Chain A
């Protein structure tokens, strides 16, 4: 089992980036906290952990995948959150807040549109994991990570731009309908 002092060090070093990764991955901070907690509980049981950061992110990604497969409740919750975000964006009086809320909603939808592996690789890279660590966490070859990331980034931006254009068009249409 991992010694308590080592576990405390792991927690201090990786908890924040792990929660951020999971929050981006899941779109739910509370859910992310739960998964991160479970990840560290599992880390405690290990005799030794090689490549700590990739191990932690790998366990977290696996937990997300397994849980997402089995628990549709969170998906419904995500949908509700997305709807709530839209509602908040509508009722928010400040234009800047509306823009931020729309941007966030578009980003969430664009991230969700990615393939799971691409999404995990991209989010792990954003958390500072190296190609080797990402490859270890996702069970991929190191040489494929560049391709995976380039594909994820391109698809993310394409989806995001499309959603933003769609939103702009919808706003334009709504404005024309209001004027008409």
Chain B
């Protein structure tokens, strides 16, 4: 590249000194240059000056990058050192602008896939084009090299035309969004009746349980005509009206619920319960066989004799899904359950009951007297106390609590029963 035949007596040109300092001389020429500079004071001064120029020019060029805010702080490693030093590469940092440009480049790569392929290009080719473009005639013939490239634009247009044909805009045949059905508001003719029935029902709840039960018994099987016989009958009518007006709510209400014995029995589902092994069996105070009449509309039940006479024993019942039925005895002094199995005309089940013995207990409290005086009985109070069954002597269970009652029932012997569905007695 440089003159390798330079002797020690020839003073190198300034360009060669720069090339030497830039590390661009081949080893032979570089060695000759070094030997000459060592022996030539003037050339050594020129080399020193050239070093200053290289460093100074690098610093001035670097000052162009010294932008306060808008420009990133470019790396400052530069300046060709003697012996082949190259400007240090700056780190490539990813910035939003660069990312956007990269994305643009990739998109353009996709566009140019459809662009006609050109032949190999070289640096000389770029010069040739630049020179041809510099002449006026060629400039008129060839589009100018500018940031907006007509070839690229036309390629983009062709690409868009191929991939995105023009679309005709027309009204949709059907609305894009589903249309809700028109809201039909019908006058609620049963609302006043329901309000009145609700008021009467609330009033009936305020009455004692026994009074309601007696009234229900005296009014007989309530139907629509029973509305006039009492508050409970009105409530039943309201329920019928409500179920007719709102079948969905009625369906929800058909789920297992527990209702008190105050519910007025509607058409019943009755089972004749008898001991499965023929042994004597009692459920509470009622001896099998007996009839359990389940309210079809609620969770109330009554226990009747085999002849259909009310024993005065109430019960509640729940249905577990569509299968078993659990009847809970509700009678003063007794706790019991009656479980009926698989549905059908004949159900097998288990019956338990246990008496809840009531006993009188004393609670003695003493007054806070003086130390000298003996404690005196200040008050003596008698309260009813539920004897704790032997099976539920757990210390952490309060006597009389539901847990205790449940334990008492569970501790009672299980009597296998057979329940046959039967026609409900007329009364």
Q: Which A residues have a C-beta under 8 Å from some C-beta of B?
A: 1, 4, 7-8, 11-12, 15-17, 20, 23-24, 27, 29, 33-38, 40-42, 44-51, 54-55, 58-59, 62-63, 65-67, 70-71, 88, 97, 100-101, 103-104, 106-108, 110-111, 122-123, 125-128, 130-131, 136-137, 139, 142-154, 156-157, 160
Q: Once bound together, how far apart are the Cα atoms of A33 and B71, in whole Å?
A: 12
Checking B17, B24, B57 against A157 with a beta-carbon cut-off of 8 angstroms, the contacting residue is B57
Q: Is the CB of B120 within 8 A of A128?
A: no
- Residues on B with C-beta less than 8 A from A148 are 15
Name the contact of A24 in the complex, choosing from B15, B24, B65, B112 (C-beta under 8 A). B65
On whether the beta carbons of A24 and B64 are closer than 8 Å, the reply is yes
| Alpha-carbon gap, A131 to B56, bound state (A) | 20
Please judge, given known A-B contacts A62-B126, A66-B144, A104-B67, whether A153 and B109 are in contact too, CB under 8 Å.
no
* Interface residue count on the B side (C-beta < 8 Å): 68
Task: Please state if A46 and B118 are interface contacts (CB–CB under 8 Å).
Answer: yes
Least CB distance from A142 to B in Å reads: 6
Q: Which residue of A lies closest to B102 (CB)?
A: A11
Q: How close is B241's CB to chain A, nearest CB, in angstroms?
A: 76
Give Cα A15 to B92, complex, Å. Answer: 8
Q: Please tell me which stretch of B146-154, B319-327, B390-398 contacts chain A, meaning at least 4 of its Cβ atoms lie within 8 angstroms of it.
A: B146-154
- Does B425 make an interface contact (CB < 8 A)? no
- Tell me if A143 and B1 are in contact (CB < 8 A): yes
Q: Which residues of B contact A (CB under 8 A)?
A: 1-2, 13-19, 22, 24, 50, 53-54, 56-58, 60-61, 63-68, 70-71, 74, 78, 80, 86-87, 89-93, 97-98, 101-102, 104-106, 108-109, 112-113, 115, 117-124, 126-127, 129-130, 133, 144-147, 149, 152
**Contact across chains for B123 and A50 when beta carbons are under 8 A apart:** yes
- Is the pair B1, A131 in contact by a Cβ cutoff of 8 Å? yes
A15 touching B101, Cβ below 8 Å: yes
A20 touches B118 (CB 8 A): no
On chain A, the residues within 8 Å of B74 by CB distance are 20
Alpha-carbon distance between A153 and B223 when the two chains are bound, in angstroms: 115
C-alpha gap A12/B152 in the complex (Å)? 23
A sample of 9 more A-B contacts (CB under 8 A), given A1-B118, A47-B118, A150-B50, is A41-B105, A46-B118, A59-B126, A66-B145, A136-B123, A146-B2, A146-B17, A146-B22, A154-B53
19 A-B residue pairs with Cβ-Cβ distance under 8 Å, sorted by A, are A4-B109, A16-B90, A24-B61, A24-B64, A24-B65, A29-B67, A37-B101, A40-B101, A41-B108, A47-B118, A59-B126, A71-B146, A100-B66, A104-B67, A107-B64, A126-B57, A131-B22, A136-B124, A147-B15
CA distance A50 to B145 in the complex (A): 21
Distance between Cα atoms of A38 and B105 in the complex (Å):
9
Bound CA span A66–B105, Å:
22
Please state if A38 and B149 are interface contacts (CB–CB under 8 Å): yes
**Contact, CB under 8 Å: A101 / B126:** no
Q: Which residues in B have their C-beta under 8 angstroms from that of A137?
A: 123
A17 touches B24 (CB 8 A): no
Q: A128-B86, A157-B53 are contacts. A37–B104 as well, Cβ < 8 Å?
A: yes
Asked if B54 and A153 sit within 8 Å, CB to CB, the answer is: yes
Residues from chain B with a CB closer than 8 A to the CB of A110 are 60
Q: Are A20 and B24 within 8 A (Cβ)?
A: no
Question: Is the beta-carbon distance between B149 and A41 smaller than 8 angstroms?
Answer: yes
Contact check, B63 vs A104: say whether CB atoms are below 8 A apart.
Answer: yes
Q: A58 touching B123 by the CB < 8 A rule? A: yes
Pick the most buried of A20, A29, A111, A146: most chain B CB atoms within 10 A of its CB.
A146
Least CB distance from A18 to B in Å reads: 11
Q: A103-B63, A104-B67, A125-B80 in contact; A44/B15 too (CB < 8 A)? A: no
B422 to chain A, nearest CB (A): 87
Asked whether, in the complex, the Cβ of A101 is within 8 Å of the Cβ of B68, the reply is yes
Contact B68 A100 (CB under 8 A): yes
Given contacts A44-B112, A128-B86, A148-B15, whether A139 and B124 have CB atoms under 8 Å apart is yes
* Shortest beta-carbon distance from A61 to chain B in Å: 9
A124 to chain B, nearest CB (A): 11
